[in-house]
Structure 1
Amino acid sequence: MVVKKNGTKFRCSIVVSQKRELGEKSRNKQEPIFSLRVSNAILAQSTISVLGLGFIDAGYSGDWSRIGVISKETEDLLKLVAFVVVPLCLFLIFSLSKKQEA
């Protein structure tokens, strides 16, 4: 897999080795089978979304305190913090999408 940074985009390519033929066509010509380009803005939006969803899950599901990963007090604190973090995440996601359009 070859990862190249081209400006603000990443390109991932999977290259399959080909049988070498004698002649000019065989000189290091490899074509990618699968190419994926993702901009930095989309990566940032995805990261912010996962952060917001994590606060929602930890604060409102009740599963984490029930199985003993966090205490009930910490879960209540996460519920309060989620009221600030989730709108902030939504604001950041939409502001990044407006910058990407311009």
Structure 2
Amino acid sequence: MEVTTVRSFGFSITHSFPPRRKFHPTLAKKKDNESQQQQPPFSSLRISNSNLARAAIGVFGLGFIDAGYSGDWSRIGVITPQNEEFLRLAAFLVVPICVLFVFRVAKEPDY
């Protein structure tokens, strides 16, 4: 084993390099009582498909409001001012339909 000493700013730092070892993978064995008590870490993060569908519909409706009323999209050149006016008028039809769909999506049982 080789040991070197480096001095800097009045402190002594010793580096030692252990001999190289070869590591072999092994499988850990769990006790029966531990595997039954522990839950997977993501079990509380489950989201039902109906909630995901509601969120997607809501974001779609909010997109119409943003594109029609913010003015940012036409200012940076993504849409024309004529398309912005069309989206503003379409929001009066699309947003109520999205709200209807959000409340009409079938509910799934909670996890």
TM-score normalised over the length of structure 2: 0.61
> Cα RMSD (Å) of the superposition?
2.5
Choose from 65, 71, 76 the match for 2:80.
71
Structure of larger gyration radius? 2
Matched, 1:84 2:93: yes
Question: 3-state DSSP class of the match of 2:101?
Answer: helix
Between the aligned partners of 2:71 and 2:31, the Cα distance in structure 1 is 62
Unaligned runs of 5+ in 1: 1-18
Instruction: Please state whether the residue corresponding to 2:51 is helix, strand or coil.
Output: helix
TM-aligned CA deviation for residue 31 of structure 1:
4.6
Tell me how far apart the structure 2 counterparts of residues 76 and 85 of structure 1 sit (CA, whole Å): 14
Residue 32 of structure 1: CA displacement?
1.8
Same amino acid, percent of matched pairs: 56
Number of residue pairs matched? 78
Structure 2 matches for 1:51-62, cutoff 5 A?
A: 51-62=60-71
Residue 68 of structure 1, CA deviation: 1.0
From the two aligned structures, give the one with the greater strand fraction.
1
Normalized per residue, the structure richer in helix is: 1
